[in-house]
Structures are given as C-alpha cells and as structure tokens.
A and B are shown apart, each in its own frame.
Chain A
Amino acid sequence: MERIPILRMGRLLLVTIQVDMHDRLAMTLQDDLTNRIVNDRATGVLIDISALDIVDSFIGRMISNTAAMAKILDARTVLVGMQPAVAITLVELGLTLEGVSTALNVELGIKLLQQDNR
C-alpha cells in the first residue's frame, strides 16, 4: 500500500509530503502519524508541505485534524514551507487552519518545537 514516509529525529516526527496526495493517502498519513506519536513517544510533529502546489479543503482538514489529535496526545504540530500561492488560495477558500502552528521552513519549525520541549 502507498504511504508517505515518517522520519523520527529524537522526540520529533518529520513528514515531507512530496506527492500530490489523493484523499485515501491523506487519511492514511493522518492515521500513521497519530499511531507514531504514541509508539515513538513523540512530543512534536513537523509537516513539510513545501513541495505541495495546492492544499484543498480535504488536505487542510487532514492537517487540522492531525494537529488536534496530536495535541490530545501531548504533541505539538508545526506546518512548514507553505507556498505563498497556497496561503492566498487557502484563505480565499475559507480555510484558516485554526490551531495549527506554522513556520516558514523546516529549520524554523524544528526550533519552534524544541523551544517548548519539556
């Protein structure tokens, strides 16, 4: 089965989405990430979407839901690398990604997650 790889760096999980995901693949990633937070005792999740040309409402919801689930599991999610055209389109679409922390790139995202590492 097709899957997006999840890397572990200490207590952080790192996902770089590099393919145009269909909806089932997005749901699989959400499930995988939630399971890995528990199994790897992760305190932070970094999702890199710099390679994504579009984020529609389904992918947006997957990201929001993942962040909400992570929060309940005591992990913080940071979304990094959003392209400007994607940000403009998301706001016009009506999706504001409430509750999701963002950073401009992976480096800043990791810094953000390490700041509140307990």
Chain B
Amino acid sequence: MTPGPEAATNVLPLKTDEDVVRLRKQVREQLVALGFSLIEQTKMITAASELARNTLRYGGGGEAHINQVANEGRRGLSLSFIDQGPGIEDVNLALTDGYTSGGGLGLGLSGAKRLADDFVIDTAPGRGTTVKIAKWKIF
C-alpha cells in the first residue's frame, strides 16, 4: 500500500457512540502508518474525537472521510466531518472557548482548531456542517 495524493478516501459512518471509538482507532492506525510522533497522534486523535462527537450530537449524525494527503513534499492526514444537520448560525461564536449550544464544555470546535494544523469549517443554517482538519508531518 503506497498512499499518495490519489489514495482512496476512507469513509466511516458517525451514527452511534461506538462509531466515534471506531473512528479514533482508524485515525490512529493511519497516523502511525504515516510515522507521526506520539504527541502529534494524540493531538490529532483528540481533535477527531471532538469533531466526531459534534457531528453526532449537533449534526444528527453523518460521516467522516479519512485521507492521506501530500502537498509540496509534505505528507499528512486530512479528516472531514460531514453532517446534514441544522448548521451553525454564528461560526465565530461557536469557535469561542466555553460557548456551547448543547450543554457541553464548549471546547470541541475551538479545541480541535488548536490541536490540528489546518482547520476549515463550512456551514450555514439549514445547510449542514463540514469541518475539515489536517495534520502535516514535520521533517
């Protein structure tokens, strides 16, 4: 298996609590295969766990896409969390530490953003939410 920019997308459902555990396991396997350090693995898996829970709790379930990626000689792992839920009205507010609409700690989105290298969110009311994060290997 030689993953490159054309490597197949690994799609995982996010419908149950157990799916979140399965996602963490898959993400770890891919990070290990790419040779990430233990600290980088831990940060990215934690970010993935936060975003997967958001997809499940606030997005009403959805799916995660896992991709090994390459860019300008760098290699990394990209994760997308996609739901068709209610979407987020005020993204800046949702990215504020401690803000929650659902009784959580309000660290999921903001924490995931800090733990990943790249963070892109695409959402609007009634249009669902897609959050894409990436971690790049440091040489």
Residues of chain A touching chain B, judged by Cβ–Cβ distance below 8 Å, are: 20-25, 53-58, 60-61, 83-86, 88-89, 92-95
Give the shortest distance, in Å, between A4 (CB) and chain B (any CB): 14
Partner of A54 from the list B18, B42, B104, B114 (CB cut-off 8 Å) is B42
Secondary structure type dominating chain A contacts:
helix
Residues on the B chain within 8 Å of A54, using CB: 24, 42, 45-46, 49
Give the shortest distance, in Å, between A116 (CB) and chain B (any CB): 29
Q: 10 smallest A-B Cβ distances: which pairs?
A: A22-B17, A93-B111, A85-B42, A56-B49, A57-B107, A85-B39, A94-B107, A89-B42, A23-B17, A57-B105
| Interface status of B120 (Cβ within 8 A of chain A) | no
Count class of interface residues, chain B: 20 to 34
Partner of B50 from the list A20, A21, A22, A56 (CB cut-off 8 Å) is A56
| Interface status of B89 (Cβ within 8 A of chain A) | no
Chain A residue with Cβ nearest B45: A54
Flag B99-128 by CB within 8 Å of A: 1 or 0 each: 000001101101100110000000000000
Residues on the A chain within 8 Å of B97, using CB: 94
Residues on the B chain within 8 Å of A25, using CB: 17
Could you write out 7 A-B pairs with CB less than 8 Å apart?
A: A23-B53, A55-B46, A85-B39, A88-B42, A89-B115, A92-B114, A93-B115
Q: In whole angstroms, what is the CA distance A58 to B57 when docked? A: 12
Q: In whole angstroms, what is the CA distance A92 to B110 when docked? A: 10
Residues on the A chain within 8 Å of B115, using CB: 89, 92-93
Flag B40-56 by CB within 8 Å of A: 1 or 0 each: 01110110011001000
Does B20 contact A23, Cβ atoms closer than 8 Å?
Answer: yes
Does B17 contact A89, Cβ atoms closer than 8 Å?
Answer: no
Does A53 contact B104, Cβ atoms closer than 8 Å?
Answer: no
| Interface status of B137 (Cβ within 8 A of chain A) | no
Q: In whole angstroms, what is the CA distance A25 to B53 when docked? A: 14
Q: In whole angstroms, what is the CA distance A103 to B23 when docked? A: 30
Q: In whole angstroms, what is the CA distance A23 to B108 when docked? A: 14
